[in-house]
Structure 1
């Protein structure tokens, strides 16, 4: 049996990463790994500080590793250590060396970037009262370019995003063959 391909789903807050990951998993008959940051905020009852970033990224990677054996064809990953590194640049002025090593050493078979075109909705994960998705997306695209990571931007309504990914990955396999 071949290993499932890991698909990174990146983007700023409220860009539709979670919705896309869940829909893709359903569409392809597989599973997805939710963003650990959400659970961290709920459990800790606070926003993360700089020292939390490596824990968040390590936990995300560990959850991917745990999910990979159960994935069928693809494992859709709602964020990655690279996105944690981008947020570290945005909010803490740089990337911790250990987080940098983790982000550099953890690659994906495909990288999707959700365009920041959906309405921004504060959800408790934000440090500010205004939309900073443009700035975060700019940092993300800089990091992807600097690291030589190929990516596909997905935009538009949910159905259009799904179609764009299907064009990239191919149609889901039919049951029984």
Structure 2
């Protein structure tokens, strides 16, 4: 792949509007977006998720992102989460991160992360697990992004969440 892409990852705890904002940003900037692979994977599970499932979700997210990048025509692509989520969930649920994920973390660069704040009301969903741990996961996300020396902006707001996200992306574009 010769084209240089600016990848913007939309990340954060559960029920913070990541998928909605990702799709809205892609529409606003008339570009492609990468869906969250884990949502589709987990919806098809018939047993409780295990560490091998986390590895499968890692591989699936990477493959999905690479397939979208292969057909992208614009240099800006939005990612509805990244496989950093696999690390966070694996650490929380299983007490460890698969080695393949740890090795891959420094190899996958995102130019900007939009960290969705927990100021939206919790929305029930059968694929969501931790309504009472949102503060905890917000701290974990900040720690993980700091550990990667990632450039990130926290996106807050109920009615103005999208406009705040657009402002952050516009500021990023202006500095590039």
Q: TM-score, normalised on structure 1?
A: 0.86
Give 1:139 deviation, angstroms: 1.1
Aligned residue in 2 for 1:119: 121
Unaligned runs of 5+ in 2: 172-176
Aligned residue in 1 for 2:145: 144
Give 1:161 deviation, angstroms: 2.6
Secondary structure of the 2:118 match is: coil
Deviates more, 1:19-28 or 1:134-143: 134-143
Aligned residue in 1 for 2:94: 92
CA–CA separation in structure 2 for the residues paired with 1:169 and 1:24: 9
Question: What root-mean-square deviation, in Å, do the aligned CA atoms of Structure 1 and Structure 2 show?
Answer: 1.9
Give 1:69 deviation, angstroms: 3.3
Q: Cα 1:51–1:116, aligned 2, differ >3 Å: closer, same or farther?
A: same
- Does the aligned pair in 2 maintain the 1:47–1:125 contact within 8 Å? no
Q: Cα 1:38–1:47, aligned 2, differ >3 Å: closer, same or farther?
A: farther
- Does the aligned pair in 1 maintain the 2:11–2:80 contact within 8 Å? yes
Give 1:2 deviation, angstroms: 4.4
Post-superposition CA distance 1:77-117 (Å, at most 9, x none): 11101121111111111212211112222111111100011
- Does the aligned pair in 2 maintain the 1:50–1:92 contact within 8 Å? yes
How many residues in Structure 1 have an aligned counterpart in Structure 2?
169
Say whether residues 1:8 and 2:9 are aligned partners: yes
- Does the aligned pair in 1 maintain the 2:9–2:112 contact within 8 Å? yes
Q: Cα 1:25–1:47, aligned 2, differ >3 Å: closer, same or farther?
A: farther
- Does the aligned pair in 2 maintain the 1:33–1:77 contact within 8 Å? yes
Aligned residue in 1 for 2:174: none
Where in structure 2 are the equivalents of 1:22-171 lying within 5 Å? 22-71=23-72, 72-128=74-130, 130-157=131-158, 160-170=160-170
